[in-house]
Amino acid sequence: MAGRKPANRRKKTSKSRQTGLGKVMKSPAAAVASLAVAGASLAVAVTGPAPDLFKSETKPASLTMEPINKRGVTEYVLPLDARFEEMPAGVNGYCSEPVIEWLRKTGKEVPPYQRVSLRNTAQDGAMLAVSNVRAADLRKYDPQPVIRFVCPDGGNADTAVLHLKLDQDPQAQQVDNDSHGTKPFAFNLAPGEQGNIELHLLGDLGHSYSGRIVADVATGAQVETVSLPLNGNRDGFDRVSAGKFARLAVSPSMRPGSFSCSTSPPGTVIDESSSNSGLSECSPGDIRALVAEIAKTP
């Protein structure tokens, strides 16, 4: 008997085992306050101190491409019987908006080059390399009896100029502004960085060309091939050649009602990288006479 614990000691031990949760539940106000504090702490943990968790890493899909051709800087091919008398006047030797609208209704646009803006949209990570710009699905077909109409350019210094000889070059070459030679092209874009290219599609005027232009996009070991947007889409290009009629190129003049005509003599080897000579002012009648003269040559 002497070693037995009193009954009241046992009851006290049972009471002391009551949990902290039980105590809180007796006070609803305290429970609400505790949950509010816990929720606020969780919100801070998610939104506050770790923004790096939400940054996008560089991958090939980070590349966005946007055509940035100037609407008034281009070339058209027109039928040999185009009525130049009906063309609206240009502005200071350049193609005005009314001129462009007339050209669109009368002929077909064949831009001598394509300007494309490239951007790495990633917010973090490695460089994005763009290289190996080349022709794909290339098709050659006969030249067409057409007149070249040139809408001149005022220049664009902040652009990498590329030349691609469609049936010769395995990949486009970048023009070196200092040496005027060419070198292999590659763009390395840091996250958020943008760069522009101006792609000239070259080929002999004895053939027309159609196809697509593609490039390799790489970051680390990941490489993807993408189609460049030409004329605002990825359907490809159609370079109509004027054949022997490429000896004549017509462009706007400084004077309303007249044009500038440049010609090359018979037998001159002409491609898109060469320029016509003998620039002179000409009338619609002069253009028809030049077309008739060229038509008689082999």
**Tens digits of residue pLDDT in 160-180:** 999 999 989 999 999 987 787
Burial (0-12, 13-18, 19+ Cβ within 10 Å), 241: buried
Q: Is residue 277 assigned to a domain?
A: yes
Q: 24 and 93 in one domain? A: no
Containing domain of residue 50, as a range? 20-54
Rounded Cα gap, residues 137 and 116, in angstroms:
20
Lowest mean pLDDT among 83-92, 95-104, 227-236, 274-283: 274-283
Q: 207 and 76 in one domain? A: yes
**Does the pLDDT value for residue 254 go beyond 70?**
yes
Q: Is residue 85 assigned to a domain?
A: yes
Check residue 5 and report its DSSP letter. Answer: P
Q: Is residue 194 assigned to a domain?
A: yes
Q: Is residue 196 assigned to a domain?
A: yes
Domain finish residue from 7, 39, 54? 54
Q: 153 and 34 in one domain? A: no
Total domains, the chain? 2
**Does the pLDDT value for residue 39 go beyond 50?**
no
Looking up tokens 């609400």 gives 32
**Does the pLDDT value for residue 119 go beyond 50?**
yes
Lowest mean pLDDT among 32-46, 109-123, 127-141, 147-161: 32-46
Given a contact cutoff of 8 angstroms between Cβ atoms, the answer to whether 161 and 174 are in contact is yes
Q: 276 and 145 in one domain? A: yes
Give pLDDT, residue 13: 46
Q: 208 and 111 in one domain? A: yes
Q: Is residue 141 assigned to a domain?
A: yes
Q: What is the mean pLDDT of the chain?
A: 80
Give pLDDT, residue 57: 85
What Å distances lie between residue 130 and 33, 46, 183, CA to CA?
56, 36, 15
Rounded Cα gap, residues 203 and 77, in angstroms:
16
Per-residue pLDDT, averaged over 84-108, amounts to 92
Q: 41 and 69 in one domain? A: no
Q: 115 and 36 in one domain? A: no
Highest mean pLDDT (candidates 44-58, 166-180, 279-293): 279-293
Q: 276 and 170 in one domain? A: yes
Domain finish residue from 34, 54, 74? 54
**At residue 152, what are phi and psi to the nearest 5 degrees?**
-70, 165
Lowest mean pLDDT among 136-140, 249-253, 268-272: 268-272
Q: 102 and 35 in one domain? A: no
Predicted structure pTM score: 0.71
Q: Is residue 8 assigned to a domain?
A: no
Nearest to 259 by CA among 185, 118, 149: 149
Q: Is residue 95 assigned to a domain?
A: yes
Q: 248 and 109 in one domain? A: yes
Q: 168 and 288 in one domain? A: yes
Q: Is residue 5 assigned to a domain?
A: no
Q: 175 and 29 in one domain? A: no
Taken in order 161, 238, 169, 186, is the CA torsion positive or negative? Answer: positive
**Does the pLDDT value for residue 192 go beyond 80?**
yes
**Does the pLDDT value for residue 272 go beyond 90?**
no
Per-residue pLDDT, averaged over 204-213, amounts to 88
